[in-house]
């Protein structure tokens, strides 16, 4: 018999939902209308400016349609811009706008406070092991042909 509370995947999923809920509540309390999924896109674009929608989809683990809708919402909010590639007009690069960068900085401070709470009482060595283990599990799944 499988007991969910004994499975790492249960806790990964549980933590993910709890963090997304807490993050959105904190963003909203600070006056920011940004979903957890939009935050994930902004975080990726901050680290990798100029991604194409396809590359952004891959990094966000989302399908291209969902990613395009999120980018559309962020563009309507003035947080991202799209620019056609100068060599291939079919290619569009997505970056944070100046407004998006300013809002990113405020959101990052909120996210860092939440992460500090999440990691409270956990040693750096344990965090490193957890990160390494989750990465390996993700890699294992990516290599799974099923």
What are the structural domains of the chain? 20-117 (1.10.10.10)
pLDDT of 145 strictly over 90: no
- Higher local confidence (pLDDT), 79 or 137: 79
Q: What is the pTM of this model?
A: 0.86
Mean pLDDT of all residues in 83-90: 88
Per residue, the 3-state secondary structure of 54-113, as one string, reads HHHHHHHCCCHHHHHHHHHHHHHCCCEEEEECCCCCCCEEEEECHHHHHHHHHHHHHHHH
C-alpha dihedral, 103 to 104 to 109 to 113, nearest 10°:
120
d(CA 54, CA 75): 17
Mean pLDDT of all residues in 131-136: 93
Q: How confident is the model at residue 40 (pLDDT cuts 50, 70, 90)?
A: very high
Percent of the chain with pLDDT over 90: 83
Which of 3, 89, 98, 80 lies closest to 34 in space, CA to CA? 80
Query: Which pLDDT value is given to residue 144?
Result: 60
Mean pLDDT of all residues in 52-59: 93
Query: Which pLDDT value is given to residue 146?
Result: 52
pLDDT of 90 strictly over 90: no
Question: Residue 110 has which token pair?
Answer: 């909120």
């Amino acid at each position: 018999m499988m007991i969910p509370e004994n499975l790492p995947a249960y806790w990964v999923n549980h933590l993910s939902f709890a963090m997304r809920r807490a993050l959105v509540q904190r963003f909203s309390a600070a006056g920011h209308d940004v979903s957890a999924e939009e935050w994930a896109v902004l975080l990726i674009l901050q680290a990798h400016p100029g991604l194409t929608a396809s590359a952004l989809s891959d990094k966000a683990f989302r399908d291209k349609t969902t990613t395009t809708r999120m980018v559309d919402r962020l563009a309507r909010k003035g947080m991202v811009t799209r620019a056609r590639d100068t060599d291939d007009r079919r290619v569009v690069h997505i970056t944070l706008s100046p407004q998006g960068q300013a809002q990113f900085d405020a959101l990052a401070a909120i996210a860092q406070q939440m992460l500090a709470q999440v990691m409270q009482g956990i040693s750096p060595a344990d965090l490193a092991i957890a990160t390494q283990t989750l990465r390996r599990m993700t890699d294992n799944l990516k290599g799974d042909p099923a």
